[in-house]
Amino acid sequence: MSTGGRARGRARGRGKATASTPAPTPGEASRSAAATPQMDPQVAPGRGRTRGAATQPMVAAQLARPPAKPEAAQPPVQQMQRLQVGPQGAGGLDRGRRSRDHNVFQTRPEHVKDKQGKTGSVCQLVSNNFRLKTKGQWALYQYHVDFNPPVDSKRLRIALVKQQKEIIGATNAFDGMVLFLPIKLERTETVFTTQTKRGENIQITIKLTNELPPFSGVCLHMYNVIFRKVMGSLNMQQIGRHYFNPDNKIEVRQHKLEIWPGFITSISQRETHIMLEAEVSHKVLCLSTILDELYDLFHANRSSFKEQATKKLVGQIVLTKYNNKTYRVDDINWSLNPMSKFKKFDGSEISYVDYYAQVYERKITDLEQPLLVSRPKRREVRAGQQGPEVLHLIPEFCTVTGISDEVRSNFTVMKDLAQHTRVDPKNRAATLNRFLHSISKYV
């Protein structure tokens, strides 16, 4: 034990000696920092030596660093003078974001010139990526639209701009504030006056803010928006983020289910080409409504009916077939029914029975059923979308989407569904080819 104690004492002594060494001058610190540190092979570093060695370079580096000079504040006038309209963008300042190079998106190392192998046998493969061809060199032009006097209604703003086909052309995308055109207008700022149906004069100013190359992120987003419109032209219904064809639905009546075939699509850049990635997908829906499930739960156990219904339905994703939109069930309001009234946007009150009859031409049969509660999604709240704080749904018009855990555990049900949802490569390729042939009429 005495030998170990003396060794530890010597290690501490070396550590203290190292820590007490005077700091070098800035010139010596820069030279020592540039040299590669080497450890003495004859002396093992103890705790004290390690701690001192770690501290010394940090102190030297701080001494070697010259004091930073405060940068002169640049007036906004100089920044505004640097704004230009051109391929690099003209909408505003960089706002701290990195500038992106939209010319080529590299997906292989620079030293790799060819992806084809040199050995082995040739294997023919089919991919679900399809090249989208564009007409020569073109760009997407972004404009900001102002209205004087201001127009609060987004629908009216869109209608007023869409009417100006002689100025902006027939092909455009306008969300009420930002306008995208495939052509460049003659002037950087175009001003004209139009009238509403009430005879009110509105001055519209269209100002060029950006010129986007075909590979920019905004252009890729616009490609996907346009492609979704094409999917709608094929009578496909959007459920969630993807599109499905209700005309080709497959009913599995023995399990009270139906299958909607559809596609998952995405347009993105692959090196120097714009590619469409398409995949065959299916959406499983229940033939029975939420009201049917409430009936079953009520007859099974009346004493704990409300507790069982809340446990089973809250958290489910339901589809309203009158508009093919999906909602999450957050609660069940047992105090409301279809005869209850709610306020419309204009302030008037109307019952749910009359509302669905007037708007969707749907008749509610059970007037005592409770209403499902769905709250807006987080992304809708972040986006600032206006709408009711709580949305009430009619169980009679809602069906459950997807496959529940109870169904997944049923081998017979899953086997019957797999006969329609599991597609072999040959049929998958044939389905994608038919899909491309159908959209070629609209692209």
pLDDT digits (tens, 9 = 90+) for 320-342: 988 888 899 999 999 999 999 99
In the chain, the percentage of residues whose pLDDT exceeds 70 is 72
Q: Mark out the alpha helices in 100-184 (DSSP H runs).
A: 154-162, 165-168
* Residue 108: per-residue pLDDT: 72
Residue 163 tokens read as 């009417």
In this model, does residue 357 exceed pLDDT 50?
A: yes
CA distance 342 to 350: 6
* Residue 339: per-residue pLDDT: 96
pLDDT digits (tens, 9 = 90+) for 89-111: 333 333 333 334 445 556 677 78
CA distance 329 to 391: 10
Q: Is the peptide bond before 376 cis (omega within 30 degrees of 0)?
A: no
CA distance 75 to 78: 6
CA distance 128 to 319: 29
Nearest to 402 by CA among 225, 229, 242: 242
Residue 294 tokens read as 């409430």
Residue 87 tokens read as 């391929």
Sign of CA pseudo-dihedral 224, 225, 230, 234 = positive
CB 222 within 8 A of CB 154: no
Nearest to 208 by CA among 191, 184, 192: 184
In the chain, the percentage of residues whose pLDDT exceeds 90 is 32
In this model, does residue 124 exceed pLDDT 50?
A: yes
Supply the DSSP symbol for 246. Answer: G
Task: Name 352's Cβ contacts closer than 8 Å, sequence gap at least 6.
Answer: 338, 339, 340, 341, 342, 364, 371, 392, 394
* Residue 32: per-residue pLDDT: 41
Task: Name 399's Cβ contacts closer than 8 Å, sequence gap at least 6.
Answer: 285, 286, 287, 288, 289, 290, 318, 319, 321
CA distance 243 to 281: 9
pLDDT digits (tens, 9 = 90+) for 170-203: 888 888 889 999 889 989 999 999 988 888 899 9
Point out the least confidently predicted range of 7-21, 140-154, 229-243, 374-388. 7-21
Global pTM reads 0.59
More confidently predicted of 77 and 169: 169
CB 422 within 8 A of CB 403: no
**Dihedral-angle region of residue 274 (phi above 0 means left; psi in -120 to 50 means alpha; beta otherwise):** beta
CA distance 393 to 400: 13
- The mean per-residue pLDDT over the stretch 354-382 comes to 85
